[in-house]
Amino acid sequence: MTNSKPEINAANFPELHTFLRGYFHEDVTDEYGTAPEAADQFCEDAETDERIPVAQQWQQLIELTGTEPAPLNAALKKLGSAVRLNEEEIPQVTAIFARCLAVKPHRRVANE
């Protein structure tokens, strides 16, 4: 019997857990405005080696829970999120993380 679905916990989603605690916390509205804006800020702030695992784990979580707010929010809460995403925010956050994965940071050379 192969159960390939990982359990949703901090041990299986360590980078996402760290991200959620750091960005999707009680003060997200005061600090960032919205959850998508918090995700966007993370993608700008984080180094590639931080950003990519978070984005990959987000995609993995979406594959496990789907894009319905109830199961996704339950999973996010388990992983340390204090934010409840609505139906509009889920695809926005997902798109931001997809962009995170696609970004090739070659900014070091720009206008030195």
pLDDT digits (tens, 9 = 90+) for 54-78: 999 999 999 999 999 999 999 999 9
* pLDDT for the residue 40: 96
pLDDT of residue 111: 45
Residue 48 near residue 105 (C-beta atoms within 8 A): yes
Q: Are 67 and 13 in contact (CB under 8 A)?
A: no
Q: What angle do CA 38, 42, 45 make, to 5 degrees?
A: 135
pLDDT bracket for residue 105 (50, 70, 90): low
Average pLDDT for the chain:
90
The DSSP H or E segment spanning 62 is helix 48-65
pLDDT value at residue 82: 97
Separation CA 61–CA 63 (nearest Å)? 5
What is the pTM assigned to this prediction? 0.86
